Amino acid sequence: MQRIGVFVCHCGTNIAATVDVARVVEAAAKEPGVVHAEDYQYMCSEAGQLKIREAIKEKNLTGIVVCSCSPRMHENTFRQAAERAGINPYMVEIANIREHCSWIHKDIEEATEKAVILARAAIAKVTLNAPLQSGTSRVVKRALVIGGGIAGIQTALDIADAGYEVDIVEKTPSIGGRMSQLDKTFPTLDCSACILTPKMVEAAAHEKITIYTYSEVEKVSGFVGDFQVDIRKKARSVDMSKCTGCGVCQEKCPSKKTPNEFNRGLNTRSAIYTPFAQAIPNVPVIDRENCIKFKTGKCGVCSKVCQAGAIDYEQKDEIVTQNYGAIVVATGFDTIKLDKFDEYSYSTSPDVITSLELERIMNAAGPTKGHLERMSDHKPPKSMVFIQCVGSRCADKRGKSYCSKICCMYTAKHAMLIRDKYPGVEVTVFYIDVRTPGKNFDEFYRRAVEEYGVNYIKGQVGKVAEKGDKLLVQGVDLIDNKRILMETDMVVLATAIEPNPDVRKIATMLTASIDTNNFLTESHAKLRPVESPTAGIFLSGVCQGPKDIPETVAQAGAAAVKVVGLLAKDHLVTNPCVAKSDELLCNGCSSCEKVCPYGAISYEEREVNDHGIRETRRVANVNSALCQGCGACTVACPSGAMDLQGFSNRQILAEVDAICK
């Protein structure tokens, strides 16, 4: 018979203000098997833990229930407390009466009733708990970084500097990411390339870093400490070991009509190309969809002009399989598509552009060589209108509910740079709010207004229409409470940013959770901001939420430290809550084997003794070192042979029964 102790936490007023803890103690004390019940203000504090330890010893408790916050918060704390008092740490159950109860209810009566029910369920479960023992698993001393932008580069450099091997997988032909497309960076206005390219070079030259560009993660298996990853190296059609990066092939390539992705489609590129001059590696790729040789079989100009003989039309995709102890996601962002925002005439007028397109126009290496001009007639504009929050802070489903965070600052930057270089251009900014929390950010914005005479109007734009070679902007000024109708030469849209669309696929492969906006979810918003809830998966940069370059770099470093902390361990303690199959109930149907994401289940022919009937049966076998205790097999098993230790079918049914009682 179990001797159970119940400990109800007030969590200050977090629980006690909504739940009558005394009544929870009273009700719990009446449950069968409960020999001790008490409450305390902070169960997780040293004094609270002492109460648990003393009760275990004095009352000879065999299992305990702590009614407190989420097990994700303090399950480990209480398990350790139980272990110190001499009972198995897996004889602890948590009833979450904070997140699941007090925080979401207002009525004390209802919340107390629910807390009692949750406590009863945990008591019913702990009654069926059995002591479990942890094992250990290895740590592969190598990290994978998915995404080669500034976030990925910084994370990789920091991990590599700590002495561990790092691989960067980048989808495009070069590392550099969004930052490589930017012209100047706020709030210091230093040139983006000047600060980024040295880091790119450093990463490429680092002996501990291997860079896979034009490559994608194809398959991930395994778990924290030992992930196995298949990386698809797409066929570049250029031999990296032979290419000297002279660029003749790109000059001579007769197919030059492909929209240039790096310049956001503002001009075109050749079919064989490097995205930009400082690309790393400086080895072009052949875009097979647009290459005449691949389309018609005729051409081969690049091969003829290549002195190094590096062109290889026969090259095939290659799969590299590698094991990693930790994986960092640094997949970054893109701007949203504007097809749902027809009111701004983006799709019809070439003079309505996004801010990222303006970055390319302003850039000396961009499509206009850095001259500010309209894309329709290549004339310099006399006036420009910037529209903030296009698709950000959007109330309807066309856009995003969140603030993209970087737009206020880069718009101030654009406005300032234009007024500085072209003082004759009138610049107007329509905004909802100007948000400048950051070191030297507000000063920067005020300079745009006060020193550079940028005209900021609080109000939104309802429509941009083409009128001759001009654009007609209709908006409102909320401060003067009047409608505004103004003509301008160019309109720049501060387009909302969203996570890279590939992130869904990657998150699925990694079993890392994502939110409704496709941003990867952190394990704890405040206390574990660079860790995914999935062990061994870390987050770097905008894939986790909108942020600017300084924040991205800081987070990249933080993610690197977490990775290094993991890789420095000799081994990891495994979770003993693993699946176990009852050979007498197993049909041998393979359902569990098919759903197991960790490849932990295999089948074998085994002689069984089924109540005197000896026969050889095909039965499931769980490798407990590989099993992560996800429980997928237990629900796939039609006969109920597969069960999860610590979360057995009987325990879960006992909880349900206790709740329904």
Interface residues with other proteins (CB under 8 A)? 504-505, 508, 582, 584-591, 594-595, 603, 610, 615, 618, 636, 638-640, 649-650, 653
State which residue, 46 or 615, has the beta carbon closest to other proteins: 615
Nearest distance in Å: CB 505, other proteins: 5
CB of 504 to other proteins, least distance (A): 8
Q: How far apart are CA 65 and CA 655, in angstroms?
A: 13
Our CB check for other proteins shows the closer of 155 and 581 to be 581
Q: Which is nearer to other proteins, 12 or 638 (CB)?
A: 638
Helix H, strand E, coil C: the string for 136-177 is EEECCCEEEEECCCHHHHHHHHHHHHCCCEEEEECCCCCCCC
Nearest to 456 by CA among 363, 379, 559, 387: 387
Q: Is 19 exposed, middle or buried (0-12, 13-18, 19+ CB in 10 A)?
A: buried
Nearer to other proteins, 94 or 632 (CB): 632
Indicate the residue among 27 and 600 with the shorter CB distance to other proteins: 600
Closest approach of Cβ 638 to other proteins, in Å?
5
> Which residue, 12 or 640, is less far from other proteins as judged by CB?
640
Helices vs strands, H then E, count in the chain:
17, 34
Compute the least distance from the CB of residue 93 to other proteins, in Å. Answer: 20
- Phi/psi region, residue 593 (left: phi>0; alpha: psi -120 to 50; beta: rest), is alpha
- Least CB distance from residue 588 to other proteins, whole Å? 5
Q: Which of 25, 131, 30 is nearest to 661 (CA)?
A: 30
User: Hey, what are 275's tokens?
Assistant: 């995205």
Closer to other proteins at the Cβ: 263 or 648?
A: 648
Q: Which is nearer to other proteins, 370 or 597 (CB)?
A: 597
In angstroms, rounded to a whole number, what is the distance separating the alpha carbons of residues 264 and 367? Answer: 10
Contact 278, 193 (CB under 8 A): yes
Output the smallest distance, CB 618 to other proteins, in A.
5
Residue whose CB is less far from other proteins, 603 or 647:
603
Can you tell me the distance from the alpha carbon of 120 to that of 172, in angstroms, rounded to the nearest whole number? 55
Distance, CA of 556 to CA of 155 (rounded, Å): 5
CA angle 400–406–411, rounded 5-degree value: 110
Tell the smallest beta-carbon distance from residue 636 to other proteins (Å). Answer: 6
Cβ distance to other proteins smaller for residue 254 or 638: 638
b/e per residue 115-149 (b: at least 16 CB within 10 A): bbbbbbbbbbbbbebeeeeeeebebbbbbbbbbbb
What is the nearest approach in angstroms of other proteins to the Cβ of residue 589? 4
Q: Quote the least distance from Cβ 368 to other proteins, whole Å.
A: 39
In the 8-state DSSP scheme, what is residue 333? E
The residue (of 304 and 504) whose beta carbon lies closer to other proteins is 504
CB of residue 630 to other proteins, shortest distance in Å: 12
**Of 550 and 588, CB closest to other proteins:** 588
Closest CA to 92 of 115, 59, 125: 125
CB of 606 to other proteins, least distance (A): 13
User: Between 228 and 376, whose beta carbon lies closer to other proteins?
Assistant: 228
Structure tokens at 102: 């007090």
Nearest approach in angstroms of CB 168 to other proteins is: 23
User: Dihedral of CA 391/394/400/403: which sign?
Assistant: positive
Amino acid type, 537: I
Which CB, 479 or 656, lies closer to other proteins? 656
- In contact, 120 and 159? CB cutoff 8 Å: no
Q: Minimum Å distance from CB 615 to other proteins?
A: 8
Strands of 470-477's sheet in order across = 461-467, 470-477, 482-488
Report the distance separating Cα 5 and Cα 122, nearest Å. Answer: 11
Helix, strand and coil content of the chain, in percent to the nearest 5, comes to 30, 25, 45
| Total number of residues shown for the chain | 661
Count CA atoms closer than 13 A to 22's CA, side-chain side.
0
In the complex, minimum distance from the CB of residue 480 to other proteins, in angstroms, rounded to a whole number: 44
SS3 (DSSP) at 387: strand
Which of these, 6, 126, 128, lies nearest to 68 by C-alpha position? 6
